[in-house]
Amino acid sequence: MRLADLLQQKEAERVSQLHTQQQKSNCPVCCDRGMVVDRTTKTSRTCICIFERIVKRKMGEANITPKEQLQTLDSFEFRKPVHSQMKQLAEKYIANMPTDYVMHQGRICTTQDHCLWLGGATGMGKSHLAIAIAQVAIASGHNVKVINCVRMFAEIVDCFSTNEKPKMYQEAMDATVLVLDDIFKQKPSDFVIQKIYDLVQWRVQLGLPTIYTSERRLGNKGEEANKLNPTTIKDMDTSIWRRIRKSCGDGTYVFEYF
């Protein structure tokens, strides 16, 4: 066999092998190797699927489901004039969200207002915006957690009786950026209130960004009561209310619409 024929045969075998590998693998570009080699320029680069895998892992770690990943700032719908105000506040918050943290006496701290309060009735798009912000924070490399407070409150109560460590609560303490979704939907027991105070106080002291969504009003002066949920956060616990309000820049990052 001539050398040229032999080389052609080898190349055909290689292409056929590659084809089989591509069919079997999750990524047809790199056949799950993670690297793409350019045979002409003899250079290699990281395959896009590696970044996709990182995003998938980080979304999973943050408790953001594939369906929730569609909840971005771009997909936020403007059904009422108030929605454009909501989005503007979220954008302002994202623009000012600290990208790096200064260590001060062994603690992380930010000098800016670092929390956001989104209050409103069900279906207002509060969780959508909070998840959109969480996704931006993930892209900036933060350790992010989205926690449903109804489930976390139930876990705190369960763990109190079994003497176990509440996992979700610990995750909420540790996250750099935290979304506390649907906080104080029900009026919690004094024990849960104390645990939430510890969590809020810890995060305020460290200056860690926390985004709250709630069907209740904070309870600031001069505002109308929410007829569906007349009990405000201030009514439930003045200390928690004071810390949340202060960390939201005394109202700079407070959005309430009922």
Mind giving me the DSSP string for 7-58?
HHHHHHHHHHHHHHHHHHSS-TTTTTSSEEEETTTTEEEE-HHHHHHHHHHH
Q: Does the protein bind Zn ion through residue 30 (CB under 5 A)?
A: yes
| Residue 133 engages Zn ion in binding (rule: CB under 5 A) | no
Q: Which is nearer to Zn ion, 48 or 70 (CB)?
A: 48
- Interacting stretch for Zn ion, rule CB under 5 A, among 12-20, 21-29, 88-96, 248-256? 21-29
Closest contact distance (angstroms) between CB of 51 and Zn ion is: 9
DSSP 186: S
Tell me how far CA of residue 83 lies from CA of 21, 59, 211, 249, in angstroms.
Answer: 49, 26, 17, 21
Return the closest-CA partner of residue 209 out of 134, 135, 124: 134
Q: Which is nearer to Zn ion, 7 or 37 (CB)?
A: 37
Minimum distance from residue 32 beta carbon to Zn ion (Å):
7
Shorter beta-carbon distance to Zn ion: residue 30 or 208: 30
Nearer to Zn ion by Cβ, of 35 and 70: the residue is 35
CB nearer Zn ion, residue 47 or residue 62: 47
47 binds Zn ion (CB under 5 A): yes
CA dihedral 192, 166, 103, 213 (to 10 degrees): -50
Q: Is 29 in the site for Zn ion (CB under 5 A)?
A: yes
Q: How many CB atoms lie within 10 A of CB 194?
A: 15
Q: How far apart are CA 58 and CA 100, in angstroms?
A: 19
Is 108 among the residues that bind Zn ion (CB under 5 A)? no
Q: How far is the CB of 44 from Zn ion (least distance, A)?
A: 12
Sole window of 48-56, 70-78, 193-201, 229-237 interacting with Zn ion (rule: CB under 5 A): 48-56
- Kindly state whether residue 55 participates in binding Zn ion, applying the rule CB under 5 A: no
**Could you say which of 49, 130, 134, 200 contacts Zn ion (CB under 5 A)?**
49
Torsion angle in degrees (nearest 10) through CA of 184, 185, 190, 192 = -70
Q: Which stretch binds Zn ion (CB under 5 A): 42-50, 82-90, 122-130, 133-141?
A: 42-50
Half-sphere exposure (CA, 13 Å, Cβ side) for 179? 26
Q: Give whichever of 27 and 173 is closer to Zn ion, judged by the CB atom.
A: 27
Q: Which of 27, 154, 159, 204 binds Zn ion (CB under 5 A)?
A: 27
**How many Cβ atoms are within 10 Å of 152's Cβ, its own excluded?**
24
Distances (CA, A) of 180 to 127, 141, 168, 221: 9, 19, 11, 24
Provide the binding-site residues for Zn ion, judged by CB under 5 A: 27, 29-30, 47, 49
